[in-house]
Amino acid sequence: MKNSFFLTLLLFMPMCLLALQDRDSLQQKIALKEITLNAVRIKTPKRIIPFAVSHRIFKAEQLGLPQNSLQDYLTTVPGLYAQNTQNFAQDLRVSIRGFGARSGFGIRGIQLIVDGIPETTPDGQGQLDNLPLGLIQSLTVLRGPASTFYGNAAGGVIQINTLEDFKNDFVRLRAQGGSYSTSNFAATVGLKKNKTKAIFYQNLTQSQGYREHSKYKQQVFNARVWHDFSENSKIRGQFNYTHSPYAYDAGGVNWESVQNNRELARPQNETYKTFENVDHLKMGVQWEKQINQKLRWDSYAFYAHRDFEGKIPVQRNGYIDLVRNYYGVGSALEFQLQNNHRIQFSISIADQKDDRNRYQNLEGSAGENVLDQKELFFNTALSFLDELKWSFGILRLGLRYDYQRLGTQRQSDQVKLNTFNPSIGFTYTEWGSHVMFISYSSSFETPTLNELSANPLASAGFNPNLSPSKAHNYEMGWRYVTPENTLEATLYAINTKSEILPYELPAFLGQDFYRNAGKTKRMGIELFWEHQKGPWLWTVAYNYAAIKFDDYVLGDQNLSGNNLPGVPQQQLTTFMQYDFSEGWGVSLQTQYSGELYADDANQTLVADYFLVNLRWWKSFEHLSFFAGVNNLLDRAYFDNIRINAFGKRYYESAPMRNFYLGINLNL
């Protein structure tokens, strides 16, 4: 595995040579059914978008997916790394080209969009515990800084679209069970009449967990309604309610504890009864209006409420009670000036209010109130996008201005920020099946309210020493697309200033604090190949990333030249699926993740690992059976690494070989 970079280049070389043999394709345009995406705001065919983008489509039944985590849907996206698929108290951690790697829980630095409505809060926090996994129809990943399009905390973007393509009424029931007393029951109902259709989804998931003190229970209800006033005017509504009564946190442990027993929880986590309880409500509406042939108007509005109770393994302020309300509105007006020229103006407003209380954690009970703080994050933005098309290519220009106001009830915490983020991209299309693109984009990322309120000065108010970060992304790519093959290669270089990183203090073990690094440099290559022919589907995704501190002095240590912790240098994923006749199907997925460091000082190196997952299914007219084996080779690896944890308690063990099986009924 140490030489996987060179092996992968050898793997891709014959494919590229084979693609280049088609001389005729250099002389004529390729006639393909284009997939049009709105990941860069103006809808554009995927093949000619001048930015690195990945798009995946999933069958409605999802028989080859266990539906445990969004990571199941992201495995073949190069440059994306996911951890924490088993700790439901901390939620899935996702990084794209290193952005988001700092997150102690949930998602930071990456924008999440679900069915056109932002899931990420205005201050840049994202969570996936309310995502209806069983409804995912497609997803799009913009792999790189994109604040021109999405504002704060857009080091990458994940757009998720749930099921909406159906022609007739249906009812789908799914029951699934597996290792560690895991169960998942789901019901989906689709209704359609004249110009209106709706989908309702309800599931209940629970498990005892692989490690001690890691059980969880969750139910998600999701509803979507579409109505067409006319061919040119459409409205869409969504409603989501999630209730998670408990998700326990087994915590990070040191190497000696892992060697002793991989399944044990950290003793302090059991003593302080670390867990979370969540109630989350979200509703949104979108309106699309084609005013005339040259003018289009899109708008949205949403509101979300989150009631969170959590406990961390410390006595001081270890019992957290958080009530969050946030909303947003936005509109975009698109002009078709000429057949080859489109521009778009947009405006958005987002507001977030957190009511944060912290109490003494008296072995799981709330003690004295040590923090009562009301926090605010307000954002308003104006953006301009310009798209020009010629016979030989497409040019995209963009500029966004963001104004932000954040603070607490303390006057000294009030902060106002202004930032401009430009982007430019060009795709050359004159080579038929082959396209080349080059682009520049930027992003900015403020600390989240949670990170600011983790004040190492042990006082109320925000951490005064924590600043926003800024990134500049340069990339160049090549795509080759035919009806049977898709090949992509992307080179990128990113310069980041004031990277935000987590750490722990001896006096508050188990609580994350945050600090800024000076500068980092990211350079990498991302490769992707997909082959579809008849019953076969083959996919290979590879990335190599050198992400290093360029200027980082911590106390008396000069850490410049060290690797950014929490991100492997190499990843290689392969996927093979074959659909037999008479409804049988099988898929085999392999994943290699390279070594990574657990700390800024690069003193602890976490070993690489290789996983194999096997799935199979059998479908009848209305009934399907499915089963799978995760970690088929029974490899010992880590589901999560807690960066810079004090006492080297970096490790959260992943499950060994485990199983699941289920039944799917379509009515």
Q: Is 18 helix (H, G, I), strand (E, B) or coil?
A: helix
Closest alpha carbon to 308 in 290, 296, 320, 293:
320
Q: Does residue 345 contact residue 333 with C-beta atoms inside 8 Å?
A: yes
Render 540-593 in DSSP notation, one character per residue. Answer: EEEEEEEEEEEE-EETTEE-TTPBPTT--SEEEEEEEEEE-GGGEEEEEEEEEE
**Domain coverage including residue 310:** 4-666
Confidence (pLDDT) at 86: 87
Confidence (pLDDT) at 17: 41
Q: 15 pLDDT exceeds 60?
A: no
Question: What tokens were used for 345?
Answer: 């103006």
| pLDDT category of residue 33 using cuts at 50, 70 and 90 | low
Whole-number Å distance between alpha carbons of 28 and 14: 23
Q: Is 5 helix (H, G, I), strand (E, B) or coil?
A: helix
DSSP 185: E
**Residue 188, beta-bridge partner list:** 172, 201
The pLDDT tens digits of the residues spanning 539-587 come to 999 999 999 999 888 888 899 999 999 999 999 999 999 999 889 999 9
Whole-number Å distance between alpha carbons of 485 and 537: 10
Q: 8 pLDDT exceeds 50?
A: no
Closest alpha carbon to 23 in 434, 518, 413, 567:
434
Closest alpha carbon to 158 in 117, 111, 225, 190:
111
Q: 13 pLDDT exceeds 60?
A: no
E strands, 231-294, are: 233-248, 275-290
Alpha carbon of 293 to those of 232, 235, 296, 334, 394: distances in Å?
Answer: 10, 19, 8, 11, 21
| pLDDT category of residue 58 using cuts at 50, 70 and 90 | very high
Q: Does residue 561 contact residue 601 with C-beta atoms inside 8 Å?
A: no
Per the document, the length of the chain is: 667
Percentage above 90 pLDDT, the chain: 77
Q: Does residue 163 contact residue 658 with C-beta atoms inside 8 Å?
A: no
Question: What tokens were used for 667?
Answer: 């009515």
Higher-confidence residue of 40 and 506: namely 40
In what helix (H) or strand (E) does residue 11 lie, and over which residues does it extend? helix 4-20
Tell me the residue type at 393. Answer: G
| pLDDT category of residue 16 using cuts at 50, 70 and 90 | very low
Closest alpha carbon to 237 in 153, 117, 411, 381:
117
Whole-number Å distance between alpha carbons of 336 and 418: 30
Confidence (pLDDT) at 454: 83
Closest alpha carbon to 326 in 387, 265, 280:
280
Higher-confidence residue of 3 and 319: namely 319
The pLDDT tens digits of the residues spanning 416-447 come to 999 999 999 999 999 989 999 999 999 999 99
Q: What is the pTM of this model?
A: 0.93
Q: Is 271 helix (H, G, I), strand (E, B) or coil?
A: helix
Tokens 């109770």 -> residue: 309
Whole-number Å distance between alpha carbons of 107 and 360: 26
Confidence (pLDDT) at 515: 87
Average pLDDT, the chain: 91
The CATH number that applies at residue 120 is 2.40.170.20
- Range in 23-27, 379-383, 662-666 with the lowest mean pLDDT: 23-27
Tell me the residue type at 524. Answer: G
Q: 19 pLDDT exceeds 90?
A: no
Q: What is the arithmetic mean of pLDDT over 312-321?
A: 90
Whole-number Å distance between alpha carbons of 541 and 592: 10
Number of domains in the chain: 1
Q: What is the arithmetic mean of pLDDT over 491-508?
A: 87
**Residue 527, beta-bridge partner list:** 489, 542
| pLDDT category of residue 363 using cuts at 50, 70 and 90 | very high
- Range in 103-112, 238-247, 472-481 with the lowest mean pLDDT: 103-112
Confidence (pLDDT) at 378: 96
The pLDDT tens digits of the residues spanning 128-139 come to 889 999 999 999
Confidence (pLDDT) at 157: 96
Question: What tokens were used for 659?
Answer: 């199983």
| pLDDT category of residue 27 using cuts at 50, 70 and 90 | very low
Q: What is the arithmetic mean of pLDDT over 269-286?
A: 96
Q: Is 274 exposed, middle or buried, given 0-12, 13-18 or 19+ CB atoms closer than 10 A?
A: buried
Find the Cα–Cα–Cα–Cα dihedral 557, 563, 568, 571, rounded to 10°.
Answer: -170
DSSP 8: H
| pLDDT category of residue 24 using cuts at 50, 70 and 90 | very low
Q: Does residue 112 contact residue 94 with C-beta atoms inside 8 Å?
A: no
Neighbours of 194 (CB within 10 A): 7
Alpha carbon of 211 to those of 36, 336, 639, 643: distances in Å?
Answer: 43, 57, 11, 20
Beta strands 93-96 and 107-108 are unpaired
Confidence (pLDDT) at 337: 93
Closest alpha carbon to 630 in 589, 574, 593:
589
